[in-house]
Amino acid sequence: MKSNNNNILITGGAGYIGSHVCHLLIDQGYKVTCIDNLITGNKELLPKEVILKEFDIAEEEKVSNLIKSNNFDLVMHFAGLIRVDESVKEPEKYREYNYTKAKTFLKTCFENNLKKIIFSSTAAIYGNPTKEIVSEEDPLEPLNPYASSKLELENFIKFSSKEFNSKYIILRYFNVAGADSKMRTGLISKFSSHLIKVASEAAVGKRDKVIINGDDYDTKDGTAVRDYIHVSDLANIHLISARHLIDNGQSDIFNCGYGKGFSVKEVLNNFNEILDNKINYELGPRRPGDSKLVVANADKFKKTFSWIPKHNDLKLILKSAYEWEKKLKNNFH
- At residue 22, what is the residue type? C
Sheet containing 31-35: order of strands:
51-53, 31-35, 7-11, 74-77, 116-122, 167-173, 252-256
Neighbours of 254 (CB within 10 A): 23
Neighbours of 1 (CB within 10 A): 7
Under DSSP, the state recorded for 132 is S
- Helix (H) / strand (E) element for 196: namely helix 195-203
Q: For residues 281 and 270, what is the distance between their CA atoms, to the nearest angstrom?
A: 13
CA angle 79, 83, 85 (to 5 degrees): 155
Of residues 194, 17, 294, the one with CA closest to residue 34: 17
Give the active site residue among 16, 94, 99, 146. Answer: 146
Q: Is residue 262 helix, strand or coil?
A: strand
Indicate the angle between helix axes 264-274 and 195-203, nearest 10 degrees: 30
Q: Does the annotation count 146 as an active-site position?
A: yes
Positions marked active-site = 146
